[in-house]
């Protein structure tokens, strides 16, 4: 990674809106701010590749709060806070006073006394995750203003019910690396499609994050899913507005074959219907365990009606020259490997395994970049300082 090239990309960008602020939704950030996150992410990677320390903190906590299971995002957040010099503290609500009725306001302040960043994943329930994060962020702002907190920890959305910004920016970095620059993505056709899975209840925020970010840079984005597997109208509207501004396009189809036809990039990923996720949220809120079991049975049967929505060699042959870049946020349901029938054939997955691992490797840097820009007022000067101070990350 060329460090100087990344610094040049930062020149002239207005990144002031990121300083001392939170990162909740990509579409709430300006194009300059998104470009800044991408460039800083690759600059931080260049520092590490050149055995230069990227520590901007001498002490402090990065607190993770995961309300859903995670491998890549959990370890990416831990890697990011460690890269910048913070110590990770995982907040386990099951071992806290939350179980005894502690309020969000109290939790937010009590865990933040020496915290510089809080990363939250809350993606399971429609109308809940983003709302919780916004409330948490407001309460720590109030705690700082009242003198309770010496500093205000900023918040990073590690996946909510609406968006998955650390995933989508990592994916965008992958495309930049694969196609040789952000400018080369203009006019590229990206298919974000639903795919069959033998499980139910997968979050909507991955496809929503994808269409909400990739449409900002002149790409022709197609969202494909069977009838009844709609995503949030809000995110479709965001994608349409972005495409109109960027000169790209956005459309929705109910045909996987149509979406794959001539595509440069494909991202087939299962998700639950928006209406079903709304129903699921209400059932959990009411403590209706029988209703939840009935919903799960119904949705698994509904999924089973669309087993042809899977990435096969024949489907990949429809893409541009039969060589589209296959992407997946992982873990994938792999036919014949992790399940009897799933999102993708083993031969397709195996062919793109290394590129997908590279795709995932961007996430720690994406998260670290968001934190960096939330904490550093002059990112170019700070990056120059890190490069020139000749402090090795490790002594070999």
* Residue 71, CA distances (Å) to 75, 247, 348, 366 in order: 6, 36, 23, 16
Q: What are 275-313's pLDDT values in tens digits?
A: 999 999 999 889 999 999 999 999 999 999 999 999 999
| Average confidence (pLDDT) over 256-280 | 96
Cα–Cα distance for residue pair 44/368, rounded to 1 Å: 8
Q: What are 118-156's pLDDT values in tens digits?
A: 999 999 889 999 999 999 999 999 999 999 999 999 999
- Is pLDDT at 174 greater than 70 in this prediction? yes
When pLDDT is cut at 50, 70 and 90, the band that residue 270 belongs to is very high
In this structure, what are the phi and psi dihedrals at residue 66, rounded to the nearest 5 degrees? -110, 120
Q: Output b/e per residue, 289-303; b: 16+ Cβ within 10 A.
A: eeebeebbeebeebb
- Contacts of residues 252-258 at CB distance under 8 Å and 24 or more positions apart, as own/partner, are 252/222, 252/223, 252/224, 252/225, 253/222, 253/223, 253/224, 254/224, 254/225, 254/226, 254/227, 255/224, 256/193, 256/194, 256/195, 256/224, 256/308, 256/309, 256/315, 257/315, 257/318, 258/222, 258/224
Residue 170: closest CA among 350, 37, 33:
37
Q: Max Cα separation, the chain?
A: 62
Q: Which pLDDT belongs to residue 98?
A: 62
| Average confidence (pLDDT) over 46-56 | 97
Percent of the chain with pLDDT over 70: 98
Cα–Cα distance for residue pair 286/341, rounded to 1 Å: 34
Q: Which pLDDT belongs to residue 201?
A: 78
Residue 285: both structure tokens together: 């809120």
Cα–Cα distance for residue pair 334/324, rounded to 1 Å: 18
Give me the CATH topology for the region 167-358: Rossmann fold (3.40.50)
Q: Which pLDDT belongs to residue 95?
A: 61
Find the DSSP H helices in 21-69. Answer: 31-49
Q: Which pLDDT belongs to residue 102?
A: 74
In this structure, what are the phi and psi dihedrals at residue 147, rounded to the nearest 5 degrees? 85, 5
Cα–Cα distance for residue pair 178/167, rounded to 1 Å: 16
- Is pLDDT at 357 greater than 90 in this prediction? yes
Cα–Cα distance for residue pair 372/334, rounded to 1 Å: 36
Topology agreement, domain 3-163+363-388 and domain 167-358:
yes
Indicate the domain borders of the chain. 3-163+363-388, 167-358
Q: Which pLDDT belongs to residue 68?
A: 82
Q: What are 59-114's pLDDT values in tens digits?
A: 999 999 998 888 899 999 999 999 999 999 998 776 655 655 678 999 999 999 99
CATH code reported for the domain at 3-163+363-388? 3.40.50.1370
């Amino acid at each position: 990674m060329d460090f100087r090239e990344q610094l040049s990309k930062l020149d002239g960008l207005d990144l002031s809106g990121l300083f001392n602020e939170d990162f909740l939704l990509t579409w709430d950030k300006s194009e300059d701010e998104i470009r800044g996150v991408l460039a800083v992410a690759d600059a931080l990677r260049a520092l590490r590749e050149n055995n230069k320390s990227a520590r901007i903190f001498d002490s402090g906590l990065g607190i993770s709060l995961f309300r859903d299971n995670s491998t890549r995002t959990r370890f990416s957040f831990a890697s990011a806070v460690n890269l910048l010099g913070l110590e990770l503290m995982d907040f386990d609500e099951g071992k806290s006073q939350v179980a005894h009725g502690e309020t969000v306001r109290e939790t937010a302040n009590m865990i933040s006394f020496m915290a510089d960043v809080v990363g939250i994943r809350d993606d399971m329930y429609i109308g809940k995750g983003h709302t919780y994060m916004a409330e948490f962020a407001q309460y720590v702002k109030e705690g700082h203003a009242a003198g309770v907190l010496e500093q205000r920890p900023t918040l990073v959305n590690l996946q909510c019910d609406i968006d998955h910004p650390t995933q989508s920016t990592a994916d965008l970095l992958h495309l930049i690396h694969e196609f040789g620059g952000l400018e080369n993505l203009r006019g590229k056709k990206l298919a974000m499609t639903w795919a069959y899975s033998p499980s139910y209840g997968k979050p909507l925020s991955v496809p929503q994050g994808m269409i909400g970010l990739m449409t900002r840079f002149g790409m022709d984005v197609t969202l494909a899913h069977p009838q009844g597997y709609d995503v949030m109208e809000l995110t479709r509207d965001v994608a349409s507005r972005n495409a109109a501004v960027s000169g790209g396009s956005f459309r929705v189809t109910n045909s996987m074959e149509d979406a794959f036809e001539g595509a440069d990039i494909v991202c087939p990923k299962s998700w639950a219907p928006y209406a079903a996720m709304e129903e699921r949220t209400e059932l959990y809120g009411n403590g209706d365990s029988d209703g939840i079991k009935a919903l799960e049975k119904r949705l698994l049967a509904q999924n089973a009606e669309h087993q042809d929505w899977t990435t096969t060699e024949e489907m990949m042959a429809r893409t541009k020259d039969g060589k589209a870049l296959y992407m997946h946020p992982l873990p994938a349901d792999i036919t014949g490997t992790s399940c009897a029938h799933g999102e993708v054939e083993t031969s397709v997955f195996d062919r793109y395994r290394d590129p997908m691992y590279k795709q995932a490797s961007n996430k720690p840097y994406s998260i670290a970049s968001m934190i960096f820009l939330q904490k550093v007022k002059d990112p170019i000067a700070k990056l120059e300082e890190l490069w020139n101070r000749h402090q090795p990350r490790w002594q070999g």
